[in-house]
Amino acid sequence: MKENIRLSERNHYIGQENLIRDFKQGFKKGLPIAFGYVPVSFAFGLLAVKGGIPVWIAILISMTNLTSAGQFAGVGLIMAQATLFEITLTTFVINIRYMLMSLALAQKIVEKMPTIHRSIMAFGITDETFAVASLEDKEITFPFMMGLITGPYFGWALGTALGAILTTFLPTAVQNSMGIALYAMFIALIIPAAKKSKAVLIVIIVAIAISSAFRWIPFLNQLSQGWVIILATIVASAVGAIFFPRSEERV
Protein backbone atom coordinates (compact mmCIF):
# COMPACT_ATOMS: atom_id res chain seq x y z
CA MET A 1 0.00 0.00 0.00
CA LYS A 2 2.72 2.39 1.05
CA GLU A 3 4.70 1.45 -2.03
CA ASN A 4 1.69 2.15 -4.24
CA ILE A 5 1.37 5.61 -2.85
CA ARG A 6 5.06 6.25 -3.30
CA LEU A 7 4.87 4.93 -6.86
CA SER A 8 1.95 7.14 -7.79
CA GLU A 9 3.68 10.10 -6.20
CA ARG A 10 6.68 9.41 -8.32
CA ASN A 11 4.64 9.04 -11.50
CA HIS A 12 2.97 12.29 -10.70
CA TYR A 13 6.31 13.99 -10.20
CA ILE A 14 7.76 12.72 -13.46
CA GLY A 15 4.54 13.53 -15.28
CA GLN A 16 4.54 11.05 -18.16
CA GLU A 17 3.56 13.65 -20.77
CA ASN A 18 6.28 16.00 -19.59
CA LEU A 19 8.97 13.36 -19.73
CA ILE A 20 9.61 13.58 -23.45
CA ARG A 21 9.02 17.32 -23.61
CA ASP A 22 11.51 18.02 -20.82
CA PHE A 23 14.06 15.63 -22.25
CA LYS A 24 13.83 17.33 -25.63
CA GLN A 25 14.16 20.78 -24.09
CA GLY A 26 17.25 19.71 -22.19
CA PHE A 27 18.70 17.99 -25.22
CA LYS A 28 18.39 21.15 -27.32
CA LYS A 29 20.16 23.21 -24.69
CA GLY A 30 22.94 20.64 -24.49
CA LEU A 31 23.77 20.66 -28.19
CA PRO A 32 26.02 23.75 -28.21
CA ILE A 33 27.95 22.23 -25.29
CA ALA A 34 28.28 18.96 -27.20
CA PHE A 35 29.82 20.73 -30.18
CA GLY A 36 32.07 22.79 -27.93
CA TYR A 37 33.40 19.61 -26.35
CA VAL A 38 34.48 17.99 -29.62
CA PRO A 39 37.71 19.95 -30.25
CA VAL A 40 38.72 19.70 -26.59
CA SER A 41 38.07 15.98 -26.20
CA PHE A 42 39.69 15.49 -29.61
CA ALA A 43 42.80 17.10 -28.14
CA PHE A 44 42.48 14.83 -25.11
CA GLY A 45 42.32 11.65 -27.23
CA LEU A 46 45.29 12.87 -29.24
CA LEU A 47 47.38 13.69 -26.18
CA ALA A 48 46.57 10.44 -24.38
CA VAL A 49 47.44 8.19 -27.32
CA LYS A 50 50.57 10.18 -28.13
CA GLY A 51 51.64 9.63 -24.53
CA GLY A 52 51.29 5.87 -24.82
CA ILE A 53 47.72 5.30 -23.54
CA PRO A 54 45.84 2.68 -25.63
CA VAL A 55 42.98 4.05 -27.77
CA TRP A 56 40.28 2.08 -25.93
CA ILE A 57 41.48 3.34 -22.56
CA ALA A 58 41.43 6.95 -23.75
CA ILE A 59 37.78 6.44 -24.74
CA LEU A 60 37.07 4.59 -21.49
CA ILE A 61 38.48 7.52 -19.50
CA SER A 62 36.17 9.99 -21.25
CA MET A 63 33.13 7.75 -20.77
CA THR A 64 33.78 7.12 -17.07
CA ASN A 65 35.21 10.48 -15.98
CA LEU A 66 33.45 13.01 -18.22
CA THR A 67 35.60 15.89 -17.05
CA SER A 68 38.15 18.05 -18.82
CA ALA A 69 40.71 19.30 -16.33
CA GLY A 70 40.72 16.13 -14.22
CA GLN A 71 41.28 13.89 -17.23
CA PHE A 72 44.08 15.95 -18.71
CA ALA A 73 45.83 16.22 -15.34
CA GLY A 74 45.24 12.54 -14.53
CA VAL A 75 46.57 11.32 -17.87
CA GLY A 76 49.55 13.67 -17.60
CA LEU A 77 50.36 12.14 -14.22
CA ILE A 78 49.86 8.58 -15.52
CA MET A 79 52.31 9.33 -18.32
CA ALA A 80 54.76 10.70 -15.74
CA GLN A 81 54.32 7.43 -13.77
CA ALA A 82 53.14 9.32 -10.70
CA THR A 83 51.98 7.43 -7.63
CA LEU A 84 48.32 6.40 -7.44
CA PHE A 85 48.00 8.56 -4.34
CA GLU A 86 49.16 11.67 -6.18
CA ILE A 87 46.89 10.93 -9.15
CA THR A 88 43.87 10.42 -6.89
CA LEU A 89 44.51 13.47 -4.74
CA THR A 90 45.21 15.80 -7.68
CA THR A 91 42.12 14.68 -9.58
CA PHE A 92 40.05 15.04 -6.45
CA VAL A 93 41.24 18.56 -5.73
CA ILE A 94 40.67 19.61 -9.33
CA ASN A 95 37.13 18.23 -9.01
CA ILE A 96 36.28 19.83 -5.67
CA ARG A 97 34.66 22.60 -7.69
CA TYR A 98 31.88 20.17 -8.62
CA MET A 99 30.76 20.11 -4.99
CA LEU A 100 29.56 23.67 -5.19
CA MET A 101 27.83 23.07 -8.50
CA SER A 102 26.18 19.94 -7.13
CA LEU A 103 25.15 21.86 -4.04
CA ALA A 104 23.73 24.71 -6.08
CA LEU A 105 21.83 22.28 -8.30
CA ALA A 106 20.42 20.62 -5.18
CA GLN A 107 18.48 23.85 -4.54
CA LYS A 108 17.41 24.09 -8.14
CA ILE A 109 15.98 20.61 -8.86
CA VAL A 110 12.49 19.31 -8.17
CA GLU A 111 12.49 18.78 -4.41
CA LYS A 112 10.94 15.33 -4.51
CA MET A 113 13.47 13.91 -6.91
CA PRO A 114 14.38 10.43 -5.57
CA THR A 115 17.94 9.60 -4.57
CA ILE A 116 18.43 7.23 -7.49
CA HIS A 117 17.67 10.00 -10.00
CA ARG A 118 19.88 12.43 -8.11
CA SER A 119 22.79 10.01 -8.20
CA ILE A 120 22.36 9.32 -11.92
CA MET A 121 22.14 12.96 -13.02
CA ALA A 122 25.07 13.88 -10.74
CA PHE A 123 27.36 12.03 -13.14
CA GLY A 124 26.63 14.58 -15.85
CA ILE A 125 27.44 17.73 -13.87
CA THR A 126 30.22 19.58 -15.69
CA ASP A 127 31.26 23.23 -15.68
CA GLU A 128 29.16 23.76 -18.79
CA THR A 129 26.03 21.67 -18.07
CA PHE A 130 25.94 23.31 -14.64
CA ALA A 131 26.13 26.76 -16.15
CA VAL A 132 23.22 26.03 -18.50
CA ALA A 133 21.11 24.30 -15.83
CA SER A 134 21.56 27.10 -13.32
CA LEU A 135 20.41 29.66 -15.88
CA GLU A 136 17.05 27.90 -16.25
CA ASP A 137 14.25 29.98 -14.80
CA LYS A 138 12.25 26.99 -13.60
CA GLU A 139 12.83 23.89 -11.48
CA ILE A 140 15.05 21.30 -13.06
CA THR A 141 13.41 17.92 -13.66
CA PHE A 142 15.18 14.60 -14.07
CA PRO A 143 14.25 14.21 -17.78
CA PHE A 144 15.44 17.77 -18.52
CA MET A 145 18.80 17.13 -16.88
CA MET A 146 19.21 13.78 -18.67
CA GLY A 147 18.43 15.47 -21.98
CA LEU A 148 20.92 18.22 -21.21
CA ILE A 149 23.65 15.69 -20.38
CA THR A 150 23.13 13.33 -23.32
CA GLY A 151 24.61 15.47 -26.10
CA PRO A 152 27.71 16.61 -24.18
CA TYR A 153 28.34 13.03 -22.97
CA PHE A 154 28.44 11.62 -26.47
CA GLY A 155 30.20 14.68 -27.89
CA TRP A 156 32.93 14.19 -25.29
CA ALA A 157 33.25 10.46 -26.05
CA LEU A 158 33.10 10.93 -29.82
CA GLY A 159 35.72 13.68 -29.84
CA THR A 160 38.02 11.52 -27.73
CA ALA A 161 37.58 8.54 -30.07
CA LEU A 162 38.28 10.68 -33.14
CA GLY A 163 41.36 12.27 -31.61
CA ALA A 164 42.67 8.93 -30.35
CA ILE A 165 42.16 7.14 -33.67
CA LEU A 166 43.27 9.95 -35.98
CA THR A 167 46.47 10.72 -34.05
CA THR A 168 48.67 8.80 -36.45
CA PHE A 169 47.12 10.37 -39.56
CA LEU A 170 47.34 14.01 -38.52
CA PRO A 171 50.29 16.19 -39.51
CA THR A 172 52.45 17.29 -36.58
CA ALA A 173 51.44 20.94 -37.05
CA VAL A 174 47.77 20.07 -36.45
CA GLN A 175 48.63 17.84 -33.50
CA ASN A 176 50.71 20.55 -31.87
CA SER A 177 48.07 23.21 -32.49
CA MET A 178 45.38 21.08 -30.80
CA GLY A 179 47.40 21.26 -27.58
CA ILE A 180 45.97 24.70 -26.84
CA ALA A 181 42.29 23.65 -27.12
CA LEU A 182 41.83 22.69 -23.45
CA TYR A 183 43.40 25.86 -22.13
CA ALA A 184 41.39 27.98 -24.54
CA MET A 185 38.22 26.36 -23.20
CA PHE A 186 39.30 27.19 -19.64
CA ILE A 187 39.89 30.78 -20.69
CA ALA A 188 36.40 30.82 -22.19
CA LEU A 189 35.05 29.69 -18.82
CA ILE A 190 36.91 32.09 -16.50
CA ILE A 191 37.25 35.34 -18.44
CA PRO A 192 33.55 36.26 -18.60
CA ALA A 193 33.29 35.80 -14.80
CA ALA A 194 36.50 37.76 -14.19
CA LYS A 195 35.11 40.56 -16.33
CA LYS A 196 32.07 40.87 -14.05
CA SER A 197 33.72 40.36 -10.66
CA LYS A 198 36.91 41.92 -9.33
CA ALA A 199 37.07 39.25 -6.61
CA VAL A 200 37.09 36.45 -9.18
CA LEU A 201 39.78 38.28 -11.15
CA ILE A 202 41.97 38.59 -8.04
CA VAL A 203 41.49 34.91 -7.14
CA ILE A 204 42.56 33.95 -10.67
CA ILE A 205 45.60 36.24 -10.52
CA VAL A 206 46.70 34.78 -7.16
CA ALA A 207 46.32 31.24 -8.50
CA ILE A 208 48.31 32.09 -11.63
CA ALA A 209 51.03 33.83 -9.60
CA ILE A 210 51.48 30.73 -7.43
CA SER A 211 51.51 28.27 -10.34
CA SER A 212 53.97 30.50 -12.26
CA ALA A 213 56.27 30.84 -9.25
CA PHE A 214 56.39 27.06 -8.85
CA ARG A 215 57.09 26.63 -12.54
CA TRP A 216 59.88 29.15 -12.97
CA ILE A 217 61.64 29.82 -9.67
CA PRO A 218 64.56 27.45 -9.09
CA PHE A 219 64.09 25.05 -6.17
CA LEU A 220 60.33 25.77 -6.07
CA ASN A 221 60.03 24.16 -9.50
CA GLN A 222 60.91 20.78 -7.98
CA LEU A 223 57.33 20.36 -6.78
CA SER A 224 55.24 18.33 -9.25
CA GLN A 225 52.41 20.01 -11.12
CA GLY A 226 49.71 18.11 -9.29
CA TRP A 227 50.75 19.51 -5.94
CA VAL A 228 51.19 22.99 -7.38
CA ILE A 229 47.57 22.99 -8.58
CA ILE A 230 46.38 21.81 -5.17
CA LEU A 231 48.41 24.48 -3.39
CA ALA A 232 47.40 27.28 -5.77
CA THR A 233 43.72 26.34 -5.55
CA ILE A 234 43.61 26.22 -1.78
CA VAL A 235 45.54 29.45 -1.26
CA ALA A 236 43.74 31.45 -3.96
CA SER A 237 40.25 30.25 -2.93
CA ALA A 238 41.08 30.99 0.71
CA VAL A 239 42.19 34.51 -0.26
CA GLY A 240 38.84 34.91 -2.01
CA ALA A 241 36.87 33.53 0.94
CA ILE A 242 38.70 35.72 3.48
CA PHE A 243 38.83 39.02 1.60
CA PHE A 244 35.73 38.73 -0.55
CA PRO A 245 33.21 36.59 1.36
CA ARG A 246 30.04 36.21 -0.65
CA SER A 247 26.65 36.95 0.82
CA GLU A 248 24.43 33.88 0.80
CA GLU A 249 21.83 34.95 -1.67
CA ARG A 250 24.44 35.50 -4.33
CA VAL A 251 25.72 31.90 -4.21
Partner 1 sequence: MSLFYILLAVTLMAVVTYIPRALPIVLFRRKIKSQRITSFLYYTPYAVLGAMTFPSIIYSTGNLNYSIVGTLMALALAYFEQGLMKVALGAVLVVYLCHVCF
Subset of residues 168 to 187 that bind partner 1, contact rule: CB under 8 A: 173-174, 176-187
Pick the binder of partner 1 from 92, 198, 220, 221 (CB under 8 A): 92
66, 123 Cβ separation under 8 angstroms: yes
Pick the binder of partner 1 from 79, 110, 132, 162 (CB under 8 A): 79
Site for partner 1 in 4-63 (CB under 8 A): 32-33, 35-40, 43, 52-54, 57, 60-61
- Taking residues 199 to 228 in sequence order and writing x for each that binds partner 1 by CB under 8 A, - otherwise, the string is xx--xxxxxx-xxx--xx--------x--x
Buried b (16+ CB within 10 A) or exposed e, 150-183: bbbbebbbbbbbbbbeebeeeeeeebeebeebbe
Least distance between partner 1 and beta carbon 7 (Å): 21
Rg (CA), the chain: 20
Stretch that binds partner 1, among 5-13, 22-30, 160-168, 231-239 (CB under 8 A): 231-239
Stretch that binds partner 1, among 8-16, 21-29, 67-75, 160-168 (CB under 8 A): 67-75
Least distance between partner 1 and beta carbon 142 (Å): 12
Rounded CA-CA distance 223/171 in Å is 34
* Binding of partner 1 by 238 (CB under 8 A): yes
Q: For residue 249, give the amino acid letter.
A: E
Pick the binder of partner 1 from 65, 110, 136, 162 (CB under 8 A): 65
Question: DSSP assignment of 91-149, as one string?
Answer: HHHHHTHHHHHHHHHHHHB-TT--HHHHHHHHTT--HHHHHHHHH-SSPBPHHHHHHHH
Q: Report the residue number, 21 or 190, with the smaller CB distance to partner 1.
A: 190
Q: Report the residue number, 1 or 251, with the smaller CB distance to partner 1.
A: 251
27, 147 Cβ separation under 8 angstroms: yes
Secondary element (H or E) of residue 85: helix 84-95
Total residues binding partner 1 (CB under 8 A):
110
Q: Report the residue number, 20 or 99, with the smaller CB distance to partner 1.
A: 99
Site for partner 1 in 139-168 (CB under 8 A): none
Q: What is the DSSP letter of 54?
A: -
Q: Report the residue number, 60 or 165, with the smaller CB distance to partner 1.
A: 60
Least distance between partner 1 and beta carbon 99 (Å): 4
Question: DSSP assignment of 157-168, as one string?
Answer: HHHHHHHHHHGG
Q: What is the DSSP letter of 169?
A: G
